Amino acid sequence: MRALRAFLVTALLLLCSSWATADPPASYPDISHSDLKAAIKSHGVFLIDCNGTSSYQNGHIPTAIDFETQQGRLAQLLPSNKNALIVAYCRDPR
């Protein structure tokens, strides 16, 4: 029984460490303008404006949040559905 418990703990630690060291995706897919418009219209997207507060105040996509002022509470603002579409945008294509 003790050997089985030690084996399970070791396996769990190895499994957890592989999750922690997994590489994030190299890039995220782009969304087309028409797909974004449709998602906004259907209330199916969470938008994050990454242009900075000054730019945000001068104009932003409706329903978008200002990342600069909201980054400290971003985890609270994000949708609870982990499969939800989240789009971050800025004017610089890099």
Contact 50/88 with Cβ under 8 angstroms?
A: yes
- pLDDT value for 24: 60
Q: How far apart are CA 60 and CA 47, in angstroms?
A: 10
Residue spans per domain, the chain: 27-89
Q: How far apart are CA 78 and CA 74, in angstroms?
A: 6
- pLDDT value for 86: 92
Kindly provide the residue ranges of all beta strands, DSSP E only, lying in 38-90, ordered along the sequence. Answer: 46-49, 65-66, 86-89
Per-residue pLDDT of the chain (94 residues; tens, 9 = 90+): 555 555 554 545 545 444 444 566 667 788 888 999 999 999 999 999 999 999 999 999 999 999 999 999 989 999 998 889 999 998 865 5
Given CA atoms 82, 83, 89, 94 in this order, what sign does their dihedral have?
positive
Which residue, among 41, 78, 75, has the nearest Cα to 61 in the 3D structure?
41
- pLDDT value for 90: 87
- pLDDT value for 27: 72
Strand, coil or helix: 4: helix
Q: How far apart are CA 72 and CA 33, in angstroms?
A: 29
